[in-house]
């Protein structure tokens, strides 16, 4: 693969309404936060480039509707995703129990052919606003994530805690997956012999 090639990856964010999906996207891409809540209708996205160990990677981060009446509008955008972030609010037990449903919805509508190996990530958001039950909620979410072999992160879109680190880890994972999926050719695997005969070029391939 040419070192000048810039990989492009689509990352989709799923979760219940109000868990902070839009805020996480805006915090990571625009380094900004707004306390005003506005429900996402369908889907929206922002793009940014990140440097992963000297390699520039382009990330397109998709925010999707969490309100049930809007979900049908965004499932078409699940396709073509390279990673999926499942977000819950550390103070909202229901949003934790919804993680499995969101994961199943993604697998049902994304048409991925690698369901078992597809890279999911869990974000426990609003760590800046931890309440009395937050510790237990995080423990329960972590236990579920571990049972699914999914990495878990705690984040705050409000004060940026853990956001960049989590997204950079996702970028590393999807870049590694893409690199491993590329065919490897060396000088001994393919030999090309050119012979000129009456103006024609005959190419023979030997493995």
Residue pair 39/27 in contact by the 8 Å Cβ criterion: no
192 pLDDT band, cuts 50/70/90, is: very low
Scanning the structure block, which residue is given the tokens 């979900």? 71
Residue pair 64/22 in contact by the 8 Å Cβ criterion: no
Give me the pLDDT at residue 8, please. Answer: 93
Question: Beta partners for 195?
Answer: 202
* 121 φ, ψ (degrees, to nearest 5): -140, 145
Q: 155: closest CA among 129, 119, 118, 120? A: 129
39 pLDDT band, cuts 50/70/90, is: low
Give me the pLDDT at residue 191, please. Answer: 43
CA distance 42 to 48: 21
Mean pLDDT confidence for 65-75: 64
Cα distance between the two ends of the chain? 20
- 66 exposed, middle or buried (CB, 10 Å; 0-12, 13-18, 19+)? buried
Summarised one tens digit per residue, pLDDT across range 148-166 is 999 999 999 999 999 999 9
CATH code assigned to 8-206:
3.40.50.300
67 pLDDT band, cuts 50/70/90, is: low
The SS3 call for residue 4 is coil
Summarised one tens digit per residue, pLDDT across range 79-95 is 999 999 999 999 999 99
Summarised one tens digit per residue, pLDDT across range 3-38 is 567 899 999 999 999 999 999 999 999 999 987 766
> What are the boundaries of each domain within the chain?
8-206
DSSP notation for 153-168: EE--TTT-TTHHHHHH
């Amino acid at each position: 693969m040419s070192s000048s090639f810039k990989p492009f990856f689509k990352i989709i964010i799923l979760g219940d309404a109000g868990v902070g999906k839009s805020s996480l996207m805006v915090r990571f891409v625009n380094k900004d936060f707004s306390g005003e809540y506005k429900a996402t209708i369908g889907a929206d996205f922002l793009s940014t480039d990140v440097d992963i160990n000297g390699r520039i990677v382009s990330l397109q981060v998709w925010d999707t509707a969490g309100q049930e009446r809007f979900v049908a509008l965004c499932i078409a955008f699940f396709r073509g995703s390279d990673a999926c972030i499942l977000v819950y609010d550390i103070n909202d037990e229901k949003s934790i129990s919804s993680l499995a449903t969101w994961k199943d919805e993604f697998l049902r509508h994304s048409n991925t052919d690698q369901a078992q190996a597809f890279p999911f990530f869990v974000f426990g958001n609003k760590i800046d606003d931890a309440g009395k039950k937050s510790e237990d909620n995080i423990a329960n979410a972590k236990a579920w994530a571990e049972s699914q072999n999914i990495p878990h992160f705690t984040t705050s879109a409000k004060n940026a805690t853990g956001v960049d680190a989590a997204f950079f880890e996702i970028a590393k994972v999807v870049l590694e997956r893409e690199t491993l999926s590329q065919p490897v050719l060396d000088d001994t695997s393919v030999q090309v012999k050119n012979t000129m005969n009456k103006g024609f070029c005959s190419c023979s391939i030997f493995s």
